[in-house]
Amino acid sequence: MIYTKKMEANTMVIDSTFWVAVSFFIFFGGLVYLKVPQKINEILNKLITDIKNEIDESEKLRKEAKDLLNNAQSKLDTAQSVRNEILEQAKKDSDRLIIDLNDKFHKSSEIKKASAESKIAQMKEAAIKEIKDASVKIAVDSVKKIITTSVDKSKLDNLFQKNLEETKEELKKINS
């Protein structure tokens, strides 16, 4: 009796283990029959392919971004060199302009100075002429007074005629 009970208990354990094992094999057999592992494999392969494509796409985008960055950097470098050239040309132009304006100022000053000196010389000559004319007039008036007061009229007429003749001759010499 003890033995049969033990046996019964063992058969039950074997029985339940056996059925769990059988159901396990049936379950996996059903999975294989329904091609679940292949479908899982296909899904995983598709996910791997999608991830690979995304990685390739991101790598492509990274390369494009790097190319764009390099292109922008080269344009920036070019722009900086052009800016430096423009600044240097502007410096040269401004220096040249300053020199030209300085030369024009000095030339203008020289012309104004020469003009002023010419005007001063003309004014000096005019003043000297006026002084000579006034001196001659004063001298003539003085001589007239002296002659009229100290010389008689007949001598005065002779002297006047003689001076008049000499003056005419001198004027003819000057004009010719």
* pLDDT score, position 11: 52
* pLDDT score, position 36: 78
8 A C-beta contact, residue 131 and residue 122: no
* pLDDT score, position 13: 53
* pLDDT score, position 2: 54
* pLDDT score, position 6: 54
Note every long-range contact of 133-138, with CB atoms under 8 Å and residues 24 or more positions apart, other chains counting: none
CB atoms near residue 145 (< 10 Å): 10
8 A C-beta contact, residue 120 and residue 108: no
8 A C-beta contact, residue 37 and residue 31: yes
* pLDDT score, position 9: 52
Task: For the chain, 176 residues long, give each residue's pLDDT as a single digit of tens.
Answer: 455 555 555 555 567 888 888 888 898 888 778 887 888 889 999 999 999 999 999 999 999 999 999 999 999 999 999 999 999 999 999 999 999 999 999 999 999 999 999 999 898 888 888 887 777 777 777 777 776 666 666 776 777 788 878 877 877 777 76
What is the 3-state secondary structure of 61-96? Answer: HHHHHHHHHHHHHHHHHHHHHHHHHHHHHHHHHHHH
Inter-CA distances, 126 with 29, 97, 113, 114, Å: 140, 43, 20, 18
